Amino acid sequence: MTKKSPVRGEARQDVDELSLLYEISRLLEHGRDLREVVSPILESLAQHLGMRYGTLTLFNRRTNDILIEAAHGLSPRQIRRGRYRPGEGVTGQVVLTGEPAVVPRVSESVAFLDRTRRGKRPDTSFICVPIKVGKQVIGTLSVDRDYDPRHDLGDDVRLLTIIASMIAQAVKLRREAEEERERLEAENARLRAELRERFRPANIVGNSHEMQIVYEQIAQVARSAATVLIVGQTGTGKELIAHAIHYNSDRAERPFIKVHCAALPESVIESELFGHEKGAFTGAVSQQILKIRCSSSAFSIANLLVFKACGICTDGSPPK
């Protein structure tokens, strides 16, 4: 009978581990929500390690509870029972110390509390490693596997530690992305508030009777979805009035888009306002969404009015 080479067996194990780590990295990369990928990760671990149970816990610092976030081989009722405090049981000790823990035979361990009531089977080993972001423990990754006195549980600790680090990195990146999103939202809200304050009618210079009429008209049209035509000589503040109408309306949280028609050639005005499809004409290398659709205001524009208002007629001659 031909015996298997130990070297060949180790090489095969290394290949299996690399395949497992690659699969987990893909799950973490493509999963938007960590909760969606934890269960598939535990399923992959079950196939690789032959584990009976697997759990991922998260530490809630606000309540000081360690709760099972996802599990393999446990019922929903068992998952609900798996609640610990730092220092309680093996899982609690791992969260408290930030160090891995190994129980070669759970039936011989007083530290293994078995809160999930799966039973201290004499043929089960328990391995638990911390999930850390920096020096902060945010949870644990643990498995129950068949007891085998010939098996080196240190290999499992090493593999689980690598996987826990991958999960921690994914958590860190998601946290940073969420913090950046919240920062941008707060900054956006602050800038919008500044714009609303800046373009309040009360902050527009002028207290004459005529300006009071303008302020009343701003307040009147800002509450409606009516089309507004603002006319006046250059430098009289038409754009300022437009801003005031927008930022004092129900559409203030939506985009305000300006198009300076007088600065555009006649040939591109229609495309700039109403958009175009890719390949519609020479130079249309990509689709352009019409400005009217992008803006917050619901209005329609007559071509003649637009062209004459900006000093251009459709035949290229000066407006009459």
207-240 per-position pLDDT tens digit:
778 888 888 888 888 888 888 888 888 777 888 8
132-169 pLDDT, tens digit per residue, is: 988 899 999 998 888 888 888 888 899 899 989 988 88
What tokens appear for 172 in the block? 């860190």
pLDDT for 39 beyond 70? yes
Q: In terms of residues, how long is the chain?
A: 320
234-285 pLDDT, tens digit per residue, is: 777 888 888 888 878 887 777 777 777 777 777 677 776 677 677 666 666 6
Span 89-103, average pLDDT: 92
What tokens appear for 224 in the block? 């409606």
What are the structural domains of the chain? 6-175 (3.30.450.40), 182-255 (no CATH), 257-320 (no CATH)
Q: Which of 134, 106, 131, 140 is closest to 120 using CA atoms?
A: 106
Of all residues in the chain, the percent with pLDDT exceeding 70 is 74
Q: Which helix (H) or strand (E) holds 79?
A: helix 76-81
Rounded to an integer, what distance in angstroms lies between the CA atom of residue 295 and that of residue 46? 52
Rounded to an integer, what distance in angstroms lies between the CA atom of residue 215 and that of residue 211? 6
pLDDT-based confidence at residue 130 (cuts at 50, 70, 90): very high
Rounded to an integer, what distance in angstroms lies between the CA atom of residue 88 and that of residue 111? 8
Of all residues in the chain, the percent with pLDDT exceeding 90 is 9
Rounded to an integer, what distance in angstroms lies between the CA atom of residue 244 and that of residue 238? 10
Q: What is the DSSP letter of 262?
A: G
Residue type, 157: V
Number of Cβ within 10 Å of residue 217's Cβ equals: 15
State the average pLDDT for the chain. 76
The whole model's pTM is what? Answer: 0.56
Could you give phi then psi for residue 218, rounded to 5 degrees? -60, -50
The per-residue pLDDT for 97 is 93
Rounded to an integer, what distance in angstroms lies between the CA atom of residue 54 and that of residue 144? 6
The per-residue pLDDT for 298 is 38
pLDDT-based confidence at residue 128 (cuts at 50, 70, 90): very high
Q: Which residues touch 80 (CB under 8 Å, ≥6 apart)? A: none
Number of Cβ within 10 Å of residue 129's Cβ equals: 25
55-78 pLDDT, tens digit per residue, is: 889 898 889 999 988 888 888 888
